[in-house]
């Protein structure tokens, strides 16, 4: 169970970074193939943009919080912090986006919709059963969103060798700032 919530005791640095970049590229391809984009830090929406734009956005939503967390680690930690560890573990935590995106790619032949998201967005009508699909996907994505935040916190705390109230408050502040700025952009 500890490995599920904090794999960063076992993987960090270059290995985590390489795998993380693969996860980021994979999620970018998954989003692009479904006409979607991560249009803010924790929101995915429909969009008809070029592949390079989807990829650029995926990397931006990884790098901005990672750099802010690294800066916080420099301020809060008494240990020597390697940027490769922070970048690697935060990139590796992007793995959680893949199971969040995967259900959106399931084909649906219903009311002319091409995929699950289009079917869910088309019209939520209790008589057609779409409400249950929305609720199930909402539960699924909420569980993975919580795990996404847990992994990102553990990536930060483990890589920077910090814990406690200051670490938690700083992590939450970064998440709030990135989320607000992301929604404005």
Instruction: Please write the tens of the pLDDT for every residue from 21-59.
Output: 999 999 999 999 888 888 877 788 888 889 999 999 999
Q: What share of the chain is helix, strand, coil (3-state, %, to 5)?
A: 75, 10, 15
pTM of the model: 0.82
Residue 82: which domain range? 2-184
**Ranked by mean pLDDT, which of 83-97, 122-136, 171-185 comes out on top?**
83-97
- Residues pairing with 107 in the sheet: 115
Which of 40-49, 100-109, 148-157 has the lowest average pLDDT?
100-109
The predicted pLDDT at position 182 comes to 75
Instruction: Please write the tens of the pLDDT for every residue from 169-180.
Output: 999 999 999 988
Rounded percentage of the chain residues whose pLDDT exceeds 70:
83
Domain count, the chain: 1
Q: What values do phi and psi take at 163, rounded to 5?
A: -160, 175
What is the rounded distance in angstroms from the CA atom of residue 32 to the CA atom of residue 26? Answer: 10
Tokens of 115: 């995929």
What is the rounded distance in angstroms from the CA atom of residue 70 to the CA atom of residue 79? Answer: 12
Rounded percentage of the chain residues whose pLDDT exceeds 90:
53
């Amino acid at each position: 169970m500890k490995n599920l919530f904090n794999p960063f005791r076992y993987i960090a640095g270059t290995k985590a970074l390489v795998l993380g970049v693969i996860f980021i590229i994979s999620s970018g391809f998954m989003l692009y193939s479904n006409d979607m984009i991560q249009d803010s830090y924790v929101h995915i929406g429909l969009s008809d943009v070029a592949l390079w734009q989807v990829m650029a956005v995926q990397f931006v939503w990884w790098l901005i919080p990672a750099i802010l967390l690294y800066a916080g680690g420099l301020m809060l930690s008494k240990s020597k912090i390697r940027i490769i560890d922070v970048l690697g573990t935060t990139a590796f935590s992007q793995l959680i986006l893949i199971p969040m995106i995967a259900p959106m790619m399931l084909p649906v032949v219903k009311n002319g919709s091409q995929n699950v998201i289009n079917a869910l967005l088309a019209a939520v009508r209790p008589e057609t059963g779409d409400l249950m699909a929305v609720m199930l996907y909402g539960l699924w994505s909420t569980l993975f969103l919580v795990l996404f935040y847990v992994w990102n916190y553990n990536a930060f705390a483990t890589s920077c060798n910090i814990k406690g109230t200051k670490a938690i408050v700083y992590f939450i502040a970064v998440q709030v700032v990135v989320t607000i700025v992301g929604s404005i952009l």
